[in-house]
């Protein structure tokens, strides 16, 4: 009896021992490919960026279920830059130097992207940036999967002009680099289209602005000049909810003065009662309500992954979906995760997007996307009212600004992010000294 | 073109008169049915707008039902036979309603139905169409809103319809509205000058943004003889609007001031009376807002009938939650740091970060929806001033909270002890007051008041973990400006800063306006370091 017990114990102990050694040796031998996720999980931007972290984790998990990449498993390395712009640069350095990640998916605000640019250039790594932005940039190490202004702002304005007959414009934005650059492009575009200067007002409010009474009254007054008026809103983040609440309370209906927003998606609408907002517009390259099989599957997976049926999907998530799949394809094509080889393999890569088309990575490191205009519905979703027939290629340097009209980005033939087509030379680093320093930030 | 339209309009009136007579006799109208079927037939918004026009041309007021549903997005087409239905209910199985009578005609799976998509331009057509269809409705309220729509969308082609309606109209208010709609249409028509001039007078007397908009439109197409009259009318309307805009600025200022007051009044106690630099004050406000959210969620799921009462119910709870956290903070952290302002600042800053991240972990980083109860939605018109109900309630609420707090400080035993302890701690202790206990209660009171403020702010701002951060600087600004340790100073400080901000904003813009206010406060503090209402006497020295 005693001996049997001892024998059993021995066997059990032995089994346990071999099991653990097997496991440790397996994990030591099995090399993983590390993928960095650089999104704020605390601070002001956590509201938007946490979702993207979850989306990346889901994509990586799915890729592992499919057998990983190059025969290895993918491993996510998540860091929290805490909405602190200099910390973004530090965390990026940590991801590349210490964790030796093969690529980084991250950043949301333009200022955070600007702050990590030098790090990625110095250490020659890859960043996938998933958010719509102001353009006027093309870097060797960065792949822009969000919309450039010509993939969002310009088609939205065209829609308002043609469908709604808008003649008077309020360009309302938060006071930082993205709205300022976008509004500069839009103002020039409108003037080129023959809109009179007195029919445009440009207005800025601080980050997190919450008392919109005067601003909304001003819009109302501007809109009562006998011409059809619309608001183009680049208002960002937390300021949107009070803005829409005030619009609703002062009785500005979408039929009278429609507001088209570039930073308001499903996620932002989750905090408001959208009943009074029906008909206001947003321009994106993806909406959760897009009706096709790929999207339905994606939403289902997302709900299963988060365990919450109410979680919405949005445009930057789709951008990560496209960017991640492009990276996977490029790594497979290059046969290695070496940044130089992958950067060379990425342009020309084609992957299906979630709106039924196929997006392609262009030589200027932007992608082709459809532009969708959606109207807010009372269930917090958007209904597509207009869609470009073909995919729009992202333009790094706007054709509507005199100083950037002559610039071109091409990393395949020209190997340059800012080639001056008039002087026939690459401007290189000098022109890249962007207005990042003078920028105001939220905290 | 105009002639044809007039003929159509005239036809439409004859037809509508006929339709009104026959409607009772004949229950169903094939023309209307056919017109409604057209809504589902065509693709594209411009074709849909044409189909709406055809429904209007039937002149049957019953067409308003399906159009109304259309703009609500409740009209669907059955894929199998192309029949059009109004649909009610949500989920996979939907109830079909007859588009003419509104009676139930069965159910269908959602996958078998295709929604008739509408956009703003379609909604606009619907609104105008409903106006035209319901001008002769029985209910004066409906006729009134039809007349209002016509004022909003003046159209010379509808003049005959308006005239017919005016002849029949008995209600004085609706008559006035119709007269204004008529004047608006005349201005834009090609009628003769004398008629137009009298119309301009009607519009001028109407006043407001809308009149201005109409007059400006009229001016662009007016001949020389008209221009003078229009210009005079525009000038007169503008002048009146200017006076009102002054009143509007004052009102906006008071409303911003009351928000500042609410945010700062708790701090007036913790910082003003006790002297604790409490960086976690904003998070107390946030906790109050999240308590409101929780209460509303419970109401929504368990007691839907009480949903409108969720704010009054949340008030005491928010006070208790924030007060309890404040109490724990004072007992756990702050009491060890009295007299060491720098350490207090850092410690409370740390507490604020902990509270933020805790809330973020529990509720998630995204905004939470706190809906406005019905009595806090919308606006009412006071002359040219549109006053929103939620702002009005917040002004009233801020003043009530202030009054109650003033009473508590000056008339209750706890208030007496608080003042005693802050004025002379050792003497108060010698009189038998448990000063540590009073400290804790004072801090809890200040925090609780901040929690109450959170209930109100949940109505106008985001309910997110960052809610408090937006108010902390403003709160300190108000308390320092008003004078530390003086509740009246906080009141006057908050309201005057609010009004100053709102008078600067139209000229300087929101960003510069705020900078000007800050610069002003810096200069003011240089001149009067103790703020507007400085405490005098021995308390100041200790």
Alpha-carbon distance of B542 to B523, in angstroms, equals: 26
Q: Flag if A47 and B366 touch (Cβ within 8 Å).
A: yes
Look at residues B121, B501, B386, B134 and name the one whose alpha carbon lies nearest to residue A375.
B121
Does B126 contact A at CB distance below 8 Å?
no
Residue B16 has pLDDT above 70, yes or no: no
CA A46 to CA B360: how far, in whole Å?
A: 9
Highest mean pLDDT among A134-138, B175-179, B305-309, B458-462: A134-138
Amino acid B41: pLDDT:
76
Strand, coil or helix: B113? strand
Task: Give the CA distances from residue A126 to residues A100, A102, A119, A393, in Å, rounded to whole numbers and listed in that order.
Answer: 12, 7, 10, 21
Q: What one-character DSSP code corresponds to residue A406?
A: T
Partner-chain residue, chosen from A226, A249, A268, that has the shortest CB–CB distance to B216: A226
Chain A residue nearest residue B214, CA to CA: A226
Any idea where the domains of chain B sit in the sequence?
2-153, 245-527
- Please check whether residue B14 is in contact with residue B40, taking contact to mean a CB–CB distance below 8 angstroms: no
> Which residues are paired to A35 by β-bridges?
A76, A103
**Hey, is the C-beta of A439 within 8 angstroms of any chain B C-beta?**
no
CB spacing of B213 vs A218 below 8 angstroms: no
Confidence class of residue B9 from pLDDT cuts 50, 70 and 90?
low
- Strand B93-97, strand B104-109: pairing: antiparallel
pLDDT for the residue numbered B8 = 53
* pLDDT, position B259: 93
Longest dimension (CA), chain A: 100
| Token code pair at residue B220 | 């662009």
How many angstroms separate the CA of residue A81 from the nearest CA in chain B? Answer: 14
3-state percent helix, strand, coil for chain B, nearest multiple of 5: 75, 5, 20
Do A251 and B386 count as a contact with CB atoms less than 8 A apart? yes
Query: Does B74 lie at the interface with A, CB-CB under 8 angstroms?
Result: no
Closest Cβ–Cβ partner in A224, A267, A383 for B213? A224
Task: Return the structure tokens found at A389.
Answer: 């027939």
Number of C-beta neighbours around residue B50 at 10 A: 13
Interface of B with A in 482-511 (CB under 8 A): 502, 505-506, 509-511
Q: Per residue in B21-49, pLDDT tens?
A: 444 434 567 888 888 888 877 677 888 88
pLDDT tier for residue B58 given thresholds of 50, 70 and 90? confident
Q: Does A441 lie at the interface with B, CB-CB under 8 angstroms?
A: no
| Chain A residue with minimum CA distance to B367 | A271
Question: Which stretch of DSSP H or E encloses residue B382?
Answer: strand B379-382
- Tell me what pLDDT residue A6 has: 47
Burial class for B265, CB neighbours closer than 10 Å (0-12, 13-18, 19+): buried
Q: Does A307 touch chain B (CB under 8 A)?
A: no
Q: How far apart are CA A208 and CA A388, in angstroms?
A: 33
pLDDT surpassing 70 at residue B361: yes
What residues in A contact B390, CB-CB < 8 Å? 249
Residues 129-168 of A with CB under 8 A from B: 163-164
Report the alpha-carbon distance of residue A42 to residue B20 in Å, rounded: 64
Contact at CB, B469 and A44, closer than 8 angstroms: yes
Per-residue 3-state assignment (H helix, E strand, C coil) for B478-528:
HHHHHCCCCHHHHHHHHHHHHHHHHHHHHHHHHHHHHHHHHHHHHHHHHHC
B170 and A CB contact within 8 Å: no
Q: Of A51, A211, A267, which is closest to B256 when you measure between CB atoms?
A: A211
Give the bridge partners for B93, in sequence order: B109
Cα A370 from Cα A358, distance rounded (Å): 10
Angular region, B448: left φ>0, alpha ψ -120 to 50, beta rest: alpha
For residue B12, the model assigns a pLDDT of 52
Q: Which residue has the higher pLDDT, B540 or A374?
A: A374
B368 contact A CB<8A: yes
Each residue of B455-465: pLDDT tens digit?
999 988 888 88
Q: How far apart are CA A20 and CA B281, in angstroms?
A: 51
| Nearest-CB residue to A206 (from B210, B216, B514) | B514
Percent of chain B topping pLDDT 90 = 32
Contacts of B259 in chain A (CB under 8 A): 211
Query: Which chain B residue is nearest to residue A227, measuring alpha carbons?
Result: B217
Name the pTM for this structure: 0.81
| Position with higher pLDDT, B406 vs B110 | B406
- Given CB atoms, is A410 within the 8 Å cutoff of chain B? no
At a CB cut-off of 8 Å and minimum separation 6, what does B64 contact? B129, B130, B133, B134
Look at B365 and A279 and tell me if their CB atoms are within 8 Å: no
Tens digit of each residue's pLDDT (9 = 90 or more) over B72-98: 878 888 888 888 888 887 767 788 888
Cβ-contact A242, A210 below 8 angstroms: yes
Higher pLDDT pick, B188 / A92: A92
Per-residue tens of pLDDT for chain A, all 443 residues: 444 444 444 444 444 444 444 444 444 446 899 999 999 998 778 878 889 999 999 999 999 999 999 999 999 999 999 888 999 999 999 999 999 999 999 999 888 999 999 999 999 999 999 999 999 999 999 999 999 999 999 999 999 998 888 999 999 999 888 899 999 999 999 999 999 999 999 999 988 888 898 999 899 889 887 788 999 999 987 788 889 888 888 888 888 899 999 988 888 887 677 888 888 999 999 999 998 899 999 999 999 999 988 889 999 999 999 999 999 999 999 999 999 999 999 999 999 999 989 999 999 999 999 999 999 988 889 989 888 888 999 999 998 888 888 898 999 888 888 888 888 888 876 444 444 433 333 33
Q: Which residues of B touch A214 (CB under 8 A)?
A: 249, 252, 502, 505-506, 510
**How many angstroms separate the CA of residue B464 from the nearest CA in chain A?**
8
**A254: which chain B residues are within 8 Å (Cβ-Cβ)?**
120, 123
Q: How confident is the model at residue B537 (pLDDT cuts 50, 70, 90)?
A: low
Contact B470 A210 (CB under 8 A): yes
Q: Identify the pLDDT of residue B257.
A: 95
CB contact under 8 A, B462 and A249: no
- Candidates A226, A254, A380: best to mutate against B (most CBs of B within 10 A) is A226
From chain A, the residues in CB contact with B357 under 8 A are 42
Question: A with B: how many residue pairs have Cβ under 8 Å apart?
Answer: 145
Give one DSSP letter per residue of B410-477, joined into a string.
HHSHHHHHHHHHHH-HHHHHHTT--HHHHHHHHHHHHHHHHHHHHHHHTTTS-BSTTTTHHHHHHHHH
* Region of poorest pLDDT, from A148-152, B41-45, B203-207, B353-357: B41-45
Predicted local distance difference test score (pLDDT) of residue A167: 92
pLDDT recorded at residue A147: 94
CATH number for B245-527 (one of 3.30.450, 1.10.3470, 3.40.50, 1.20.120): it is 1.10.3470
- Probe site for chain B from A47, A214, A271 (most B CB atoms < 10 A): A214
Give the dihedral sign, CA A139/A140/A141/A145: positive
Asked if A279 lies within 8 A of B120 by C-beta distance, the reply is: yes
B221 touches chain A (CB under 8 A): no
Q: Distance (Å) from the C-alpha of residue A442 to the closest C-alpha of chain B?
A: 10
Mean pLDDT of chain B: 84
């Amino acid at each position: 009896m005693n001996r049997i017990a001892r024998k059993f114990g021995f066997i059990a102990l032995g089994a346990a021992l071999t099991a653990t050694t097997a496991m440790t040796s397996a994990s030591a031998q099995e090399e993983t490919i590390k993928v960095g996720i650089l999104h704020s999980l605390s601070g002001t931007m956590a509201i938007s960026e946490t979702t993207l972290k979850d989306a990346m984790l889901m994509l990586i998990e799915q890729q592992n279920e499919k057998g990983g990449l190059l025969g290895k498993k993918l491993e996510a390395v998540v860091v929290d830059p805490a909405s602190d712009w200099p910390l973004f640069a530090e965390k990026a350095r940590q991801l590349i130097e210490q964790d030796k990640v093969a690529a980084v998916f991250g950043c949301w605000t333009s200022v955070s992207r600007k702050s990590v640019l030098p790090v990625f250039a110095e250490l020659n790594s890859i960043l996938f940036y998933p958010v719509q932005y102001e353009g006027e940039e093309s870097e060797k190490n960065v792949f822009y999967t969000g919309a450039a202004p010509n993939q969002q702002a310009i088609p939205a304005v065209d829609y308002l002009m043609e469908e709604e007959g808008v003649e008077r414009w309020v360009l309302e934005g938060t006071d930082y680099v993205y709205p300022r650059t976008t509004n500069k492009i839009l103002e020039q575009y409108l003037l080129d289209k023959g809109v009179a200067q007195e029919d445009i007002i440009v207005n800025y409010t601080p980050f997190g602005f919450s008392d919109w009474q005067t601003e909304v009254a001003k819009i109302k007054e501007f809109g009562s000049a006998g011409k059809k008026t619309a608001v183009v809103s680049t208002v960002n983040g937390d300021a949107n909810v009070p803005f829409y609440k005030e619009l609703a309370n002062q009785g500005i209906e979408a039929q009278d003065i429609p507001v088209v927003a570039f930073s308001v998606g499903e996620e932002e609408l989750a905090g408001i009662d959208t009943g009074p907002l029906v008909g206001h517009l947003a321009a994106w390259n993806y909406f959760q309500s897009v009706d096709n099989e790929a999207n339905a599957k994606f939403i289902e997976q997302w709900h299963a992954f988060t365990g919450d049926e109410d979680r919405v999907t949005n445009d930057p998530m789709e951008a990560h979906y496209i960017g991640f799949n492009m990276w996977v394809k490029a790594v497979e094509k290059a046969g290695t995760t070496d940044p130089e080889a992958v950067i060379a393999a990425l342009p020309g890569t084609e992957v299906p997007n979630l709106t039924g088309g196929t997006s392609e990575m262009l030589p200027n490191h932007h992608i082709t996307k459809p532009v969708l205009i959606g109207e807010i519905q009372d269930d917090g979703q958007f209904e597509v009212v207009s869609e470009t027939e073909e995919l729009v290629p992202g333009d790094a340097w706007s054709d509507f600004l005199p100083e950037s009209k002559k610039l071109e980005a091409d990393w395949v033939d020209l190997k340059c992010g800012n080639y001056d087509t008039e002087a026939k030379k690459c401007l290189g680093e000098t022109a890249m000294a962007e207005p990042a320093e003078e920028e105001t930030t939220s905290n | 073109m105009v002639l044809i339209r007039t003929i159509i309009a005239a036809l439409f009136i004859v037809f509508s008169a006929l339709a009104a007579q026959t409607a009772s006799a004949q229950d169903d109208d094939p023309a209307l049915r056919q017109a409604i079927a057209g809504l589902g037939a065509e693709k594209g918004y411009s074709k849909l707008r044409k189909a709406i026009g055809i429904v209007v041309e039937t002149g049957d007021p019953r067409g308003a039902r399906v159009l109304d549903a259309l703009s609500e997005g409740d009209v669907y087409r059955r894929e199998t036979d192309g029949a059009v239905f109004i649909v009610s209910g949500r989920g996979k199985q939907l109830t079909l309603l007859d588009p003419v009578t509104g009676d139930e005609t069965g159910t269908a799976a959602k996958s078998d139905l295709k929604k008739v998509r509408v956009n703003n331009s379609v909604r606009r057509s619907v609104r105008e169409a409903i106006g035209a269809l319901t001008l002769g409705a029985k209910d004066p309220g409906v006729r009134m809103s039809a007349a209002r729509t016509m004022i909003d969308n003046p159209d010379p082609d509808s003049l005959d319809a308006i005239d017919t309606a005016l002849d029949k109209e008995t209600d004085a208010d609706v008559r006035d509205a119709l007269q204004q709609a008529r004047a608006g249409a005349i201005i834009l028509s090609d009628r003769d000058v004398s008629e137009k001039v009298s119309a301009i007078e009607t519009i001028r007397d109407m006043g407001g943004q809308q009149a201005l908009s109409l007059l400006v439109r009229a001016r662009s197409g007016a001949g020389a003889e008209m221009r003078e009259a229009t210009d005079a009318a525009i000038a007169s309307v503008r002048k009146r609007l200017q006076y009102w805009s002054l009143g509007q600025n004052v009102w906006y200022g008071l409303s911003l001031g009351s928000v500042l007051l609410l945010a700062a009044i708790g701090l007036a106690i913790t910082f003003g009376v006790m002297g604790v630099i409490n960086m976690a004050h904003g998070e107390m406000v946030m906790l109050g807002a999240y308590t409101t959210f929780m209460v509303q969620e419970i109401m929504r799921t368990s007691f839907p009938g009480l949903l409108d009462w969720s704010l009054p119910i949340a008030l005491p709870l928010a006070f208790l939650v924030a007060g309890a956290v404040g109490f724990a903070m004072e007992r756990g952290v702050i009491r060890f740091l009295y007299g060491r302002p720098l350490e207090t600042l850092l410690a409370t800053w740390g507490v604020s970060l902990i509270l933020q991240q805790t809330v973020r972990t529990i509720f998630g980083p995204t905004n939470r929806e706190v809906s406005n109860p019905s009595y806090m939605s919308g606006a009412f018109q006071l002359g040219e001033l549109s006053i929103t109900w939620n702002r009005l309630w917040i002004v009233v609420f801020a003043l009530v909270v202030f009054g109650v707090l003033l009473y508590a400080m000056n008339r209750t035993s706890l208030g007496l002890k608080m003042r005693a302890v802050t004025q002379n701690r050792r003497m108060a202790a010698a009189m038998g007051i448990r000063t540590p206990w009073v400290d804790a209660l004072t801090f809890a009171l200040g925090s609780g008041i901040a929690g109450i403020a959170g209930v109100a702010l949940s109505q106008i701002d985001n309910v997110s973990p960052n809610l408090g951060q937006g108010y902390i600087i403003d709160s300190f600004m108000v308390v320092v400006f008003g004078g530390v340790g003086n509740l009246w100073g906080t009141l006057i400080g908050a309201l005057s800063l609010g009004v100053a901000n709102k008078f600067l904003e139209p000229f300087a813009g929101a960003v510069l306006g705020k900078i000007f206010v800050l610069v002003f406060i810096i200069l003011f503090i240089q001149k009067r370091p103790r703020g507007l209402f400085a405490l005098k006497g021995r308390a100041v020295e200790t």
